[in-house]
Amino acid sequence: MEKIKADIIASFKNKKINVFILFLLSAFVILFFTKLSKEYTKTIPFDIEKINVPQENVILNDTASLNITLKTHGFKWLKYYFYSPKITIDFSKDVLKREGEFVWNKSKSYLNNTQFDKQVEILNITPDPLIFKYGVNKVKKVPVVLNTDISFHPGFDMSEKLFSEPDSVVVVGPDLLVSEINQLETEPFSLAGVREDIQDLVKLKLPAKTKDLKFSVEQIMLKGNVEKFTEGTLKLPVHVINVSKNVKIKYFPKVINVSYYVSLSDFNSVSAKNFKVVCDFAKTNKNQSFLIPELVKQPETVKNTRLGLQRIEFIITK
């Protein structure tokens, strides 16, 4: 009986505590919303976001913030506690360009109509006007140099040279720094056993001092068309050039084999007329009895060409 009585008293006490907590939370919520519904006036720093700055100009005094005094109710103030507020200044329309400086001097009404809603009242802006000192930038276009190590699966190769998109980068910055940059190399990139087309993003190796420099891109798309390749062989006539009119020679052989590597798609388009082998008689000396064959013409679609002979024997008959 005593146990039942104790349980009833404990249950009653717990209900009192729960009701007290409920009323306490309700009072807090009411107070919170009452505070938020009131208007407050505060001055807060706004970060400056500069957009459309002319490429040929560099801002010298990078003003960090703009102090703006606002009046609005508490609900509107909440968002300024959760993220850093900013003001966007468009240098293509919001500033006046004078010699050596850009001047920003926008009215409160303009800001009200563009970057704040109607429930926020702007009371003051400092500094006003806002002055941006500028210097002249140098703009230079430099090529991208690929730093790659790529090997292919047997029977596969690239039908054309490896290339990048874009193949060049526009560098903007102080003349002294930009003048030192003549090319931009990629970070090292390697692949092995490749048998499919190459398409990979590769970062550029940017100079150490990049704070005052701007680059049109900081990475490139590396591309290469990979195809199945096969070997071909053709017999080619040997042409001897630069023989004096009063000299006659006989040489052997008059036909030489050439082997080459070509993609399957281009194999049927390759013929002997696409090649030319010559021996330059002017490059021989008095005691020499052989000519050196040279491949002076070949189609762009083939690679790894090799001549079957490195010497052509000859005798002077006259």
For 86-110, write each residue's pLDDT tens digit.
888 888 888 888 888 888 877 655 6
Domains of the chain: total? 4
Q: Are residues 14 and 58 in the same domain?
A: no
| Other beta carbons less than 10 A from residue 291's beta carbon | 20
- Domain assignment present for residue 105? The answer is yes
Residue where one domain finishes, among candidates 136, 162, 182: 136
Residue 151 has pLDDT above 90, yes or no: yes
Beta pairing partners, 279: 240, 293
Higher pLDDT, 255 or 133: 255
Check which CATH number belongs to the domain holding 275 and give it: 2.170.120.30
- Which pLDDT belongs to residue 17? 56
Check which CATH number belongs to the domain holding 173 and give it: 2.170.120.40
Residue where one domain finishes, among candidates 115, 136, 157: 136
Q: Are residues 248 and 292 in the same domain?
A: yes
Q: Are residues 96 and 177 in the same domain?
A: no
- Domain assignment present for residue 126? The answer is yes
- Domain assignment present for residue 48? The answer is yes
Mean pLDDT, rounded, of the chain = 83
Closest to 182 measured CA to CA, from 145, 149, 151: 145
201-246: per-residue pLDDT in tens? 999 999 876 777 889 999 999 999 999 999 999 999 999 999 988 8
Q: Are residues 57 and 31 in the same domain?
A: no
Q: Are residues 128 and 59 in the same domain?
A: yes
- Domain assignment present for residue 68? The answer is yes
27-70: per-residue pLDDT in tens? 555 544 455 456 767 788 888 888 898 877 878 766 667 888 87
**Region 67-81: what's the mean pLDDT?**
70
User: Which CB contacts under 8 angstroms, 24+ apart, belong to 31-37?
Assistant: 35/74, 36/73, 36/74, 36/75, 36/78, 37/73, 37/74, 37/75
- Domain assignment present for residue 1? The answer is no
Q: Distances from the Cα of 202 to the Cαs of 97, 168, 190, in angstroms?
A: 39, 14, 11
Q: Are residues 80 and 51 in the same domain?
A: yes
Does the pTM of the predicted model rise above 0.85?
A: no
- Which pLDDT belongs to residue 92? 87
Q: Distances from the Cα of 311 to the Cαs of 54, 104, 128, 234, 279, in angstroms?
A: 64, 79, 85, 18, 9
| Other beta carbons less than 10 A from residue 1's beta carbon | 5
- Domain assignment present for residue 202? The answer is yes
Residue 141 has pLDDT above 90, yes or no: yes
Residue where one domain finishes, among candidates 111, 136, 161: 136
Q: Are residues 167 and 253 in the same domain?
A: no
- Domain assignment present for residue 124? The answer is yes
Q: Are residues 148 and 120 in the same domain?
A: no
Domain of residue 79, residue span = 39-136
- Domain assignment present for residue 2? The answer is no
